[in-house]
Every structure is written in C-alpha cells, then in structure tokens.
Chain A
Amino acid sequence: EAGVAQSPRYKIIEKRQSVAFWCNPISGHATLYWYQQILGQGPKLLIQFQNNGVVDDSQLPKDRFSAERLKGVDSTLKIQPAKLEDSAVYLCASSLNSGAYPYTFGSGTRLTVV
C-alpha cells in the first residue's frame, strides 16, 4: 500500500513569511496527525484530525499555525508569519482510527526559517 505522502520535502523561507505543507494519508485512514520535530528532540504532536474534524489542537500555536482537512482526506498545515524557532521537520502521520495503532508517518518536510 502507498505510504503517507508529504510535500514539499524541504523549504527555506525568511522570517515573517508564510508557508504551507501538504499531507496525503494512507487511503481509508480516518485519523491524521501533524507533529513538529525540532532537531535533537522527539516529535511533538501539534494537531489531530478525525475525518474532517479537529480532535485535539491544544499544542498548536494558533496565533500563527493553522491546519485543515476539508474533505477528510488531504490536509494542509500553514504557518503565518514564520519565526526562527519554527525551523523543524513537520511530520504527518495517519492511523485507521482514533486510538488505533500503528501510526504510519510520512518522511516529513524540513523547514528552515532564516
């Protein structure tokens, strides 16, 4: 089966610019997650979707980050405006359902803010 697709693979932007990341989960997976991984740390959950609804966005910095999953399939994560500390790898993962395991992760988008 096809894995979790993410694009772009790399992105370099200047601070205060905006950026968007795209994720296509495994077909049939109802639950989608966005994680942020800062260099040297484990991934940190930003937001969880169940179909097209948000289950948990408690760790999403909502003043600058937004995410949507309009049709319950693809998802987009946006940062506007970006700060230097947003430099990280943004990982998308999906699972069959909320509470189901395992999660399948994409390869991530490496963001560098200069």
Chain B
Amino acid sequence: DAKTTQPNSMESNEEEPVHLPCNHSTISGTDYIHWYRQLPSQGPEYVIHGLTSNVNNRMASLAIAEDRKSSTLILHRATLRDAAVYYCILRDPFESGSARQLTFGSGTQLTVLP
C-alpha cells in the first residue's frame, strides 16, 4: 500500500484558514487522494478526494502538488466544529480486492482555538 505521512497535531485559530499537509512520495499514477475527518465521538466522515487537479467542495479545498507527492487540505475559515482528526488516505479504485479498501493511519489532530 502507498503510505502517507501527516503531522500528529496542528493548531489553528478560529476564523483563520488551516492548511493540513500530507506527504505521499510513493503514490502511484492511479492512486486517488482521499481525506476523511473524525469529530469527537463520531465515525469518520468524507471530506474530499482528488486525483491530479485541485478540488473544491462546500467543506474544503484539496491542493495537489504537480508531482503528486504531497497534498494539502485547506479549510478556508476554521470553526470550533472543525476540531477533529483528519486522515489522508491513498486508494486505487482500479486495484482488486482488499487494495481498494480505506486504510486509516493515525491522522492529524486539529485543535481550533477560540
């Protein structure tokens, strides 16, 4: 499995942008980059995913480096509700069997300060 590296923890001030980094130097050409987050006492929830181009949705933006060896999840204006563990996961939908499954690392614990 292609591996991702994320900082254990990050802090942000409320109403400021947050940039959560993820390194994936062994990414393959068909690996999609997925981000999930897990709020306290909840299951993980989908945030965003992308392949090569930057992606935007109502929750966040995903900026993917040109060489695809790193990506950044951007929360444009952090709120207290965004305090969660953020997971960056690589998955290849063209792989067979268990290789398609979401495999979670330890993620980044984001703390939002009021």
Contact = CB atoms under 8 A, between A and B. Distances in A.
Nearest to A44: B104
Interface residues of B, number: 24
Interface in A60-114: 91, 93, 98-99, 101-108
Interface residues of A, number: 25
Contacts, number: 58
Interface in B31-48: 32, 34, 36, 41-46
Contacts of A51: none
Contact of A101 (B44, B91, B97): B91
Given A42-B107, A45-B101, A48-B101, A101 B34 contact: yes
24 contacts: A4-B43, A40-B106, A41-B106, A42-B104, A42-B105, A45-B101, A45-B103, A55-B98, A56-B98, A93-B43, A93-B44, A101-B46, A101-B91, A102-B36, A103-B36, A103-B46, A104-B45, A104-B46, A105-B45, A106-B43, A107-B41, A107-B43, A108-B42, A108-B43
